[in-house]
């Protein structure tokens, strides 16, 4: 099972990128998590620039999302909602309607913030946007408040409870993605990769 991890923070020392590294290190057997690292290159959505001539960074993003069995977003909270660059990516991934890279894709949303509540508003807003875009949104949640107390920059988690919750999110994500693994891709008509045996 191939999962693409997308961090909603662009800074080098991001807690959310570290959270994705933790997901890489602690992924259950059969789940391989790859980090997407070009979010900053994706321009604002412009329908006039979409189609065959879409920007190169957009084409690469769509290709990576399409190739993955599932997507794991890890996001901070900016002014009580989704970071703008993440919303931009979702807008590109939601087009063209009915055969977009996100359509039917299993997705989960987690997040970490230095505040007390772990970005629950941003996560709720992103789940809503992903659902409207046609993704199959996993209900499992993980909101890490006071991130510095729970998460090290290298991706190590400081406590077992957070580690267990993150593992559960990945397991739920894999379970949601599995029924469609091997089905035809809405963009290419080719079969998606089969999940790796446990």
134-162 CB burial, b ≥16 within 10 A, e <16: bbbbbebbbbbbebeebbeeebebeeeeb
pLDDT at 151: 86
Cβ-Cβ contacts under 8 Å for 197 (sequence gap 6 or more): 30
Q: Which residue has the higher pLDDT, 181 or 150?
A: 150
Task: Classify residue 50 by its DSSP letter.
Answer: -
pLDDT at 194: 31
* Contact status, residue 103 vs residue 135, Cβ threshold 8 Å: yes
pLDDT at 180: 52
85's enclosing H/E stretch is helix 84-93
Report residue 188's pLDDT band, with 50, 70 and 90 as the boundaries: very low
Tokens 């599995």 correspond to what residue?
Answer: 178
pLDDT at 165: 94
Task: Summarize pLDDT for 73-109 with one digit per residue, the tens.
Answer: 999 999 999 999 999 999 999 999 878 999 999 999 9
Burial of 116 (0-12, 13-18, 19+ CB in 10 A): exposed
What are the structural domains of the chain?
Answer: 2-178 (3.40.50.360)
Report residue 197's pLDDT band, with 50, 70 and 90 as the boundaries: very low
55's enclosing H/E stretch is none
Report residue 190's pLDDT band, with 50, 70 and 90 as the boundaries: very low
Task: Summarize pLDDT for 27-73 with one digit per residue, the tens.
Answer: 999 999 999 999 999 999 999 999 889 999 999 999 999 999 999 99
* Contact status, residue 174 vs residue 53, Cβ threshold 8 Å: no
Cα separation, 68 vs 87, whole angstroms: 19
Task: Summarize pLDDT for 125-178 with one digit per residue, the tens.
Answer: 999 999 999 999 999 999 999 998 888 877 788 888 999 999 999 999 999 998
pLDDT of 193 higher than 90: no
pLDDT of 9 higher than 70: yes
């Amino acid at each position: 099972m191939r999962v693409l991890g997308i961090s909603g923070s662009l800074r080098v020392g991001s807690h959310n990128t570290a959270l994705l590294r933790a997901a890489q290190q602690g992924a259950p057997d059969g789940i391989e998590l790859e980090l997407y690292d070009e979010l900053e290159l994706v321009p604002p959505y412009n329908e006039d620039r979409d189609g065959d001539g879409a920007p190169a960074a957009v084409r690469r993003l769509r290709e990576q999302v399409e190739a993955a069995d599932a997507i794991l977003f890890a996001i901070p909270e900016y002014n009580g909602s989704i970071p703008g660059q993440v919303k931009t990516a979702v807008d590109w991934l939601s087009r063209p309607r009915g055969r977009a890279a996100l359509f039917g894709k299993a997705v989960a949303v987690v997040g970490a913030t230095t505040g007390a509540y772990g970005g629950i508003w941003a996560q709720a807003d992103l789940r809503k946007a992903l659902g409207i875009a046609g993704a199959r949104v996993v209900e499992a949640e993980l909101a890490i408040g006071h991130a510095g107390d729970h998460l090290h920059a290298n991706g190590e988690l400081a406590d077992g409870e957070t580690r267990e919750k993150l593992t559960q999110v990945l397991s739920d994500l894999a379970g949601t993605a599995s029924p469609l693994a091997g089905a035809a891709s809405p963009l290419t008509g080719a079969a998606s990769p089969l999940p790796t045996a446990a």
